[in-house]
Structure 1
Amino acid sequence: MAVYVDLYHITLTRQEGYRVVMLNPERLSRERVAEEFSWVQWDSDTQRLFYLTAREKHTLKCVQFSPDRNFETMFELPLEIPKMSSVTSVRFVNFGHDHYQDLKDEGLRLEVFTSPSGTMCVCYSHPVRWHKDATYTIAFVHRGCSKTFTVSLEKGSAPANLPTVHPIFIHLDYYIVVYLADHFLHLINCRQQDLLCYSLFLSGADGHIEALGSGSEVVSMSGSRLLDARAGRMYTMELNPDFLLELLSSDRPEAQRLAALHCMLVYLQPNPVIELKIINWISENVMSFDAFDQIQEFILASLYRVSYQQCVSLDKLLPYSCVLEKKELPVALTAIPGVKCTPELLCQPIIKGKAKSLQGYWEELQHVLERMKYFEAVPSPRFRTNLIKEDWIRYQAAMNSEKKKSPHSYRQIEENTKKVLSMVDTWRLDRRVVPLFQEEDQQQRVLVGLMVDKLREHLNRHLSRLGKKKIDLLVVNYAAKLLELVWHVLELVWQKLKLGPWVLCIKQQGSSEEWAMFHVMFRILEATKGLCLPLPPGYSTLLSVLGVRCLPRHTFLQYVDHGLLQLTEPFVSRLITGLDNSDANEQLKFSILKRLPEHIEQKVSHRWDHPITSACISREYVKTLLEKYSESRGSELLDYGKSSFYPDFLPLNYLAKILSNREEQAQNPFEEQENVDVRFVEETALKQTLIKLGYEVK
């Protein structure tokens, strides 16, 4: 039986003012579009005709029709598909519903789905018999691979006379939905094909669509529409976010929870209600799962969605999951019970269109295929945040060293940070709840600038065609969105726990709500530290304030010693001035001071009105002056008779004379420290002498 597709050119004419008729209907001009094919599909939305030829090897071809009534073969792809069943009729897709063909045709079913973002998926399946496993294949043309899924069905659950059925393929752009009534519902990720855990595999009651019973004759239409031919109804497929939230519960497999989380964060449109529910779920399940860190997934997936919307080319360059950072993947994420996946490489497709016709979808598909070739040749094209770690450790050592830092090495880093923070500061200034971005957190500022620097370098290496200005804007937006995202999470949890400004009062013991807030903030710190991602300036100070309110003193110090809490200058100043000098508080203050880097200790110790800190300040003051003092002039100060100090304490008299003379010659090297002068040193020395002699000093 000869089969072919012809294009008829119909000319219309108007008669008698209102009637429109064909001109010369008996002599219509026509052109042959396709012939000798075993399968054909028409997409009315995009005006494309796909057909499958099988002369020597199965080849998928596509004809694109244009508004000027011309058509052109744009695409060819050799396919390694099983041999078609010997049937007398050709399989037609989207040419109308043929009830007789659906009942009789037991051969291979095939459908092609495309999207404006440059994706193309070829889906086909064999008929499913009740006593065998179900098998279907999806060829991801834009990824250069195909995957065949074999699904185990429950044996003996269906009668022997059950007719053969096919899975239904539904296109949701980001996912291909594969549905077999009463058996399974799979959402296969079209973009992220690295692991099965980014696709959602449902079975049993979870995989049942109530509106589509087992007796329905369902046909997939263009877009995400379904036709129930028996009931005469048309459906539009949508994902229910409330159902996806149910999949996050603790009794679900971790691979299913990861897939549901990614589906809500990346596929669904941003929804404040859904976002709040996800953040509540994170705050109530702050302990990391065995296979993945839900906070890291939330951060990376959210940043990926925002960046991908700004530039599709970032798809292969930005991280979207913390699982890919692991050296050894957990078994819970690599194996799906009841589902076997067999990957294969695809032949390279051929874009045959002329340069002028490569517009819209075909231009985007060509770019996608070119990027695929490039990224296949480049090892590890996706940005890994641990690339920052080595430089970050070096900068940390420089910041904590006693040597004065060179401003030139930090100039670029600081400029990056200023750009990021200037963008963050423009967001919701009048609605701040959590006290962040209110201090100069040098460590986080350096980490922000360093991340921008490394990400910019990575994108310039792999995506230089965008231009430096575009890339600079993308990386600054990425870092700013990261800080804003953490801030937003904290604000929602803060409001949920009904916390207020009293949290910053360091004298009182923390409540259960503050303990919950500390736990959430500490988990966020762990998650970002594991990825070497920056936090908003002021985060470490707020976390330390909550820690000293909620934790036992010895536990708090252990957190500090293990590097889990950072002692910032604002926190230590608040601690020294906010707590009285009781025995327990004195012990805590001394323990904090001895753990501080020297450059921070010198800044904060003078704020504590205590004899020991006064002695330390005096010793440092005298040591600095005497080191710079010229010994050649020292003998001139031995003339005690001219001294205006008390003659009964000659050593102090001599020392005070030296300091007074030195202050007259040079500026005070401790001018940033208030109340440090000769009289202060003299009074401190006298107090220390009286203490050593056994007198009580008030």
Structure 2
Amino acid sequence: MLKLKEGFDLHRDAVLEILRKEASVCRMTEYSEAVDARLLNIESDGGILYSWKGATGTTRIGKYDQNTKQNKLLYTFDKQVCVSSCSLNKEETLLVSKCLTLLIEIHPINNTKVLKAVDCRVKVQFLHQDGDRKSVLESHLLLFAEDGYVDLYHVLLSKHEGYRVVMANPERLSKTAERIVEDFCWVQWDGHTQRLHYLTFKDKYLLRCVQFQPNNNCETVLELHLNLPANSFPTVKFVNLGFDHYHDKKPSRELVRMRVFTNPIGSLCVFYSQPLKDKKELIYTVVLVHKDCTKRFRVDLASDGSSQNSQQPHPLFIPIGYYVLVYLQGHFLHCINTRQQEMLCYSLFFSGHDVNSGLQCQSADISVLHAEGRPTCLLELVSGKINAVQLSSDFLLQILRSDTCSRWPGSAADPQRLAALHCLLVYMGNDPKLELKIMSWVCDNVNTIESFDLIQEFILASWYRIGYNRFLGLDKVLPFSSIFEKKEVPGCLLDVPGVCCTNGFHAEPVFKGKTRGLLHFWSELQCNTERTKSLDALMHSRYRTSHIQAEWDKLKSEKKPSSHMDHMEENAKK
């Protein structure tokens, strides 16, 4: 189902060079001691921060630049320390590490400031400012505490001798702290878009989205109530804030797994899963803010045909374009279409022995790295390998050719073929060679599909691809499937074996502040949400050929000169 493209490899790209440098420090031909290299964080510019045990009992922090393929030593502690969180400012003049939550000057290395000395877990993350500014004498740092608050530090810098950058008035640093979040129980940081999503709970759970501007001002732009059970987060959960290898050795029980995904075209999805106590069923909910709807899925894990017991009670959520894969190893894989969500038949679902994710390691050892507008990557936590991931066109073609649908006779396999056809034509259809393969299959199977018109699906999906990239609102207007022309939809397209779907509450987001004056994404999301509500209020918002069928029949029945009718038919064909 997934095709992986090799990217960063901790051993190949960092450890081998570390061993050479340590050998040079110790004046040895070869360094054979264990360096225990660990990934710490991935910054929004793609820089990968890592630590290792150096010679003579030191702990070192380095950075790998994915553009230049070069490693750089940032700082050396003169003793063994546990670095559980780390961030580097864009100018590479300040480094924050969480051992005692230290703020460290890099150029020159002559000052260290303790920000926090607390017992609770702390995460740190620098804001990345406008890239057009060549010289910045101010850095801005977010500090996330397990006690449920987020502070924003404004770190003033000064230049000495033209190149030495040091903190100005470090003794006043604590007075610059600005409390921007109180009492959160779950928080997610999106570095590429400089967005902060967090949950608070009073009577019910409330999701808030905070946008940081290029000038480092921040504003709450969205609030959304979520229908989560009480006490869903007994301990604070951090998402996309680095990798805490020391805490993850004894992870706390995760009752609910939640992720927020955005797309530049103006879509926002919230995914969360709730495994039941007996572990025989899994419930996961999808809140499609741009579609003003909620979908609740229930999968029976006991009857999926799998003999494996999942070590991971929660699935992975893997966004790929406007699809999101929900994957529970050994049980099921659900490829959800977040743009065409009306019926299950536009999303792919596999369970039991039909699951073929393409992943090479245990899903419990995988972290999903999502950056809006960029390919999604998967990090193998044990090996330190990062692979870009995309849907496999070869696998989808196999579905069309029934190689993976053999256990479903007749029309029972049609939902899989319909979903695969739309994914190939709409999402991947810009490849001429792939389109030729699809056309060849369509020509060979025109009369074999029972529940939908294959020719109409091919034509409508191809037309839909032309306009879908630009406007989400067209999803409610453009005809994209022949299914909506049917007076009665075949039952096999309404119920997909293995998964049960129920429609939940309306999303009802509340947009705050001046969203239309903010970044393009929030104004586009608000427009899409308002447009969806308006179109939902209409009886027939989507164009259908049946709307003009009566007029067409009337024209055909009228007695016209044959040449006139022939002329009309020729124009219609054109």
Are 2:140 and 1:19 equivalent residues in the alignment?
A: no
Give the Cα separation in 2 of the matches to 1:133 and 1:210.
24
Over aligned residues, Cα RMSD in angstroms?
2.4
Q: Does 1:225 align with 2:377?
A: yes
Q: Of 162, 181, 190, which aligns to 1:34?
A: 181
Aligned counterpart, 2:482: 322
Deviation at residue 286 of structure 1 after TM alignment: 1.9
1:481-492 pair list within 5 angstroms? none
Cα distance in 2, alignment partners of residues 42 and 326 from structure 1: 44
Q: C-alpha displacement at 1:136, in angstroms?
A: 1.1
Distance 2:446 2:184 in 1: 57
User: Could you tell me which residue of structure 2 aligns to residue 482 of structure 1?
Assistant: none
Q: Which among 446, 450, 455 is matched to residue 286 of structure 1? A: 446
- Structure 2 residue corresponding to 1:334, chosen from 470, 484, 494: 494
Matches of 1:191 and 1:209, distance apart in 2: 22
Structure possessing the higher radius of gyration over alpha carbons? 1
The normalised TM-score by structure 2 is: 0.68
Q: How far apart, in 2, do the equivalents of 1:31 and 1:111 lie?
A: 26
- Higher strand proportion (structure 1 or 2): 2
Q: Distance in 2 between matches of 1:130 and 1:158?
A: 16
**What is the 5 A alignment of 1:248-647?**
248-250=400-402, 252=405, 253-287=413-447, 289-309=449-469, 311-354=471-514, 357-398=517-558, 400-401=560-561, 442-446=567-571, 448=572, 535-536=573-574
> What code does the residue aligned with 2:569 have?
Q
Query: Would the alpha carbon gap of residues 277 and 123 (structure 1) be closer, same or farther in structure 2, given more than 3 Å must change?
Result: same
**1:54 is aligned to 2:179:** no
Query: Which residue is equivalent to 1:529?
Result: none
1:215–1:442 Cα change, 3 Å: closer
Deviation at 1:401, TM superposition (A): 4.5
Q: Which amino acid aligns with 2:219?
A: E
Structure-to-structure mapping, 1:646-657, within 5 angstroms: none
CA distance in 1, matches of 2:240, 2:557: 66
* Cα shift at 1:310: 5.1
Instruction: Report the more deviating stretch, 173-182 or 102-111.
Output: 102-111
2-structure distance, mates of 1:12, 1:195: 56
- Three-state SS of the structure 2 residue aligned to 1:126 is strand
Q: Distance in 2 between matches of 1:310 and 1:92?
A: 33
**Correspondence 1:176 to 2:324:** yes
1:235 aligns with 2:387: yes
| Residues 511-541 of structure 1, C-alpha deviations (whole Å, 9 max, x = no match) | xxxxxxxxxxxxxxxxxxxxxxxx34xxxxx
The structure where helix makes up a greater share of residues is 1
Secondary structure of the 2:199 match is strand
Q: Which amino acid aligns with 2:316?
A: I
8 Å CA contact 1:127, 1:166 repeated in 2: yes
CA contact (8 A) 1:319 1:384 kept: yes
1:9 lines up with 2:169 in the alignment: no
How far apart are the structure 1 equivalents of 2:312 and 2:352?
Answer: 19
Q: TM-score, normalised by structure 1?
A: 0.56
SS in 1 for 2:345: helix
Q: How far off is 1:350 after superposition?
A: 0.6
- Contact kept in structure 2, 1:126 and 1:136, CA below 8 Å: yes
Distance 1:31 1:189 in 2: 40
- Over the matched positions of the two proteins, sequence identity in percent amounts to 45
Shift, 1:309, TM fit: 3.2
CA contact (8 A) 2:306 2:352 kept: no
SS at match of 1:194: coil
CA separation in 2, counterparts of 1:64 and 1:37? 16
Given that residues 287 and 507 in structure 2 are in contact (C-alpha distance below 8 angstroms), is that contact kept between their aligned partners in structure 1?
Answer: no
| SS of residue paired to 1:237 | strand
Structure 1 residues 393 and 247, CA, compared in 2 at 3 Å: closer, same or farther?
same
Contact 2:152 2:180 survives alignment (8 Å)? yes
C-alpha distance after superposition, 1:312-337 (max 9, x if no partner): 43221110000111111111101111
2:256 is aligned with 1:108 = yes
Q: Distance in 2 between matches of 1:185 and 1:356?
A: 38
The match for 1:491 is none
- Amino acid corresponding to residue 567 of structure 2 in structure 1: Q
Q: What is the CA–CA distance in structure 1 between the aligned matches of 2:274 and 2:370, rounded to whole Å?
A: 21
- 1:223-274 Cα shifts (integer Å, max 9, x gaps): 3222211221112220111110000124631000000000001111411111
Structure 1 residues 359 and 215: alpha-carbon distance in aligned structure 2, compared to 1, 3 A threshold: closer
Q: Which residue of 2 aligns with 1:692?
A: none
Q: Distance in 1 between matches of 2:506 and 2:466?
A: 30
The amino acid across from 1:221 in the alignment is L
Report the more deviating stretch, 348-357 or 271-280. 348-357
Could you say if the C-alpha distance between residues 157 and 250 of structure 1 is closer, same or farther in structure 2, counting changes exceeding 3 Å? closer
Label 1:299 to 1:105 Cα distance change in 2 as closer, same or farther (>3 A): same
Match of 2:238 in 1: 92
2:216 is the counterpart of 1:69: yes
Is 1:208 the equivalent of 2:360? no
Partner SS for 2:383: coil
Amino acid of the structure 2 residue aligned with 1:444: E
| 3-state DSSP of counterpart to 1:11 | strand
Deviations along 1:598-650, one digit per CA (max 9) or x if unpaired, are: xxxxxxxxxxxxxxxxxxxxxxxxxxxxxxxxxxxxxxxxxxxxxxxxxxxxx
Shift of 1:83: 2.3
Question: Does structure 2 conserve the Cα–Cα contact (< 8 Å) formed by 1:182 and 1:208?
Answer: no
Offset, 1:97: 2.0
1:538-584 deviation digits (Å, cap 9, x = unpaired): xxxxxxxxxxxxxxxxxxxxxxxxxxxxxxxxxxxxxxxxxxxxxxx
- Which amino acid in structure 2 is aligned with residue 64 of structure 1? Q
Q: Does 1:82 align with 2:229?
A: yes
Shift of 1:213: 2.7
Asked if structure 2 preserves the Cα contact closer than 8 Å seen for 1:137 and 1:147, the reply is yes
Q: Which moved more, 1:214-223 or 1:341-350?
A: 214-223
SS for the counterpart of 2:400 is: coil
Q: What's the CA shift for 1:57?
A: 1.2
Q: SS in structure 2 opposite 1:226?
A: strand
Do the aligned residues in 1 keep the contact of 2:322 with 2:339 (CA within 8 Å)?
yes
Q: Distance in 2 between matches of 1:111 and 1:67?
A: 25
Selected match of 1:123 from 271, 294, 297: 271
Task: Name 1:136's counterpart in structure 2.
Answer: 284
Q: Could you tell me how far apart the structure 1 residues matched to 2:359 and 2:529 are? A: 39
233-242 or 150-159: which moved more?
Answer: 150-159
Take 1:365 and 1:236, find their aligned partners in 2: how far apart are those partners? 27
3-state DSSP class of the match of 2:422? helix
Do 1:58 and 1:78's aligned partners in 2 also have CA atoms closer than 8 Å? yes
Distance across 2 between alignment mates of 1:356 and 1:322: 36
Equivalent residues, number: 412
* 8 Å Cα contact 2:429-2:435 kept in structure 1: no
Displacement of 1:338 in angstroms is 1.4
Q: Tell me the distance in 1 between the aligned counterparts of 2:185 and 2:258.
A: 11
2: CA distance, partners of 1:250 / 1:229:
35
Q: Highest relative contact order (Cα 8 Å, sep 6+), 1 or 2?
A: 2
